[in-house]
Amino acid sequence: AEWWTRWGRWLIAFNMSVSAHLNVANGRVCVSLHVRALSRVPRRQRAAQIAAARASRILVCFDLSFGAHMNDTEVNALANQLALIYGYNRKLSRPLSLAIAGLPECMTGSADHAHPDARVVQALEQWSWHRWVLERKFASPAEAFVCDPPGRRLVYLTSDSETALESVDEDAIYIIGGLVDHKVKPRVALERAHELRLNTARLPLDEFLTIRKPALTCIAVFQILAGFVASGSWQSAVRDAPALQCAPLRKYVRWKQCV
């Protein structure tokens, strides 16, 4: 019935359910409806998880200084990935702290909006990124976190590194290059790390899979990192990373039997 369809939409919108009971008494049939709210993650709990992420020592920073290496399609793809990463992190039981570095000075109104990196910011505006709970840095990652507690290492993650990442250290900051390469761009992130004089590392994927694409997407790298933090196992982290199970990476991945 039309009235039930309208009420059904309201019940779904407010995450509620309805149950009906039939009672037969004195030759009459009575129908009673009971409406109740379904369990869901309260807004306060989600806010608490975000607060926990801000207090977490495990920090993942995205370097957005690669605008000159990407066309408009790749820039929009990067903004889409960052939005997916932010949403994915919010749903984790152990969310990580997030930061963005290398933002263009045009955000302060002191530079030309034609700056290559400004396109990334403009693409992020479509996702209302000004509402995201994360750190925003105008300087490069090396300069942005120079005042952090002494002894906190900065590790730039790139598939071109010769060093495999053995574990995730809470006293380290892990930097992911904000680069989408629909066309292969070898060693760009590695050269950026050398320019900043930072240590580099790559995810230990060789034991679990072979991949025909030279570099993983930003969201795949983040999901594997978050998976290792949650499970303590690289095998589980790689196996359970959603980005490796769907396009565009799925067609490039060949799983090994150990997984």
- pLDDT surpassing 60 at residue 86: yes
Q: Per residue in 209-220, is it b (16+ CB within 10 Å) or e — as a string?
A: bebeeebbbbbb
Element containing residue 45 per DSSP (H, E): helix 43-55
Partnered with residue 51 across adjacent β-strands are: none
pLDDT at res. 259 = 60
Quote the CA–CA distance of 34 and 189 in Å, as a whole number.
59
pLDDT at res. 51 = 64
pLDDT in tens, 177-214: 999 887 777 889 999 999 999 999 999 998 888 887 76
Query: What are phi and psi for residue 106, nearest 5 degrees?
Result: -65, -15
Asked if 97 and 60 count as a contact pair (C-beta separation under 8 A), the reply is: yes
- pLDDT surpassing 60 at residue 42: yes
149: cis peptide before it, omega within 30°? no
Reduced to 3 DSSP states, what percent helix, strand and coil does the chain have, rounded to the nearest 5?
Answer: 40, 20, 40
- pLDDT surpassing 60 at residue 110: no
Tokens of 215: 């570099």
pLDDT at res. 209 = 87
- pLDDT surpassing 70 at residue 244: yes
- pLDDT surpassing 60 at residue 13: no
Query: What are phi and psi for residue 105, nearest 5 degrees?
Result: -70, -15
Give the percent of the chain with pLDDT over 70.
Answer: 71
Tokens of 238: 């790689």
Q: pLDDT higher for 9 or 98?
A: 98
Average pLDDT score over residue span 18-30: 54
Q: Kindly report the number of other CB atoms within 10 A of residue 96's CB atom.
A: 21
pLDDT at res. 183 = 74
Residue bearing tokens 């359910």: 17
Q: pTM to 2 decimals?
A: 0.76
Average pLDDT score over residue span 48-71: 81
Q: pLDDT higher for 215 or 160?
A: 160
Mean pLDDT, rounded, of the chain: 80
Tokens of 67: 């605008």
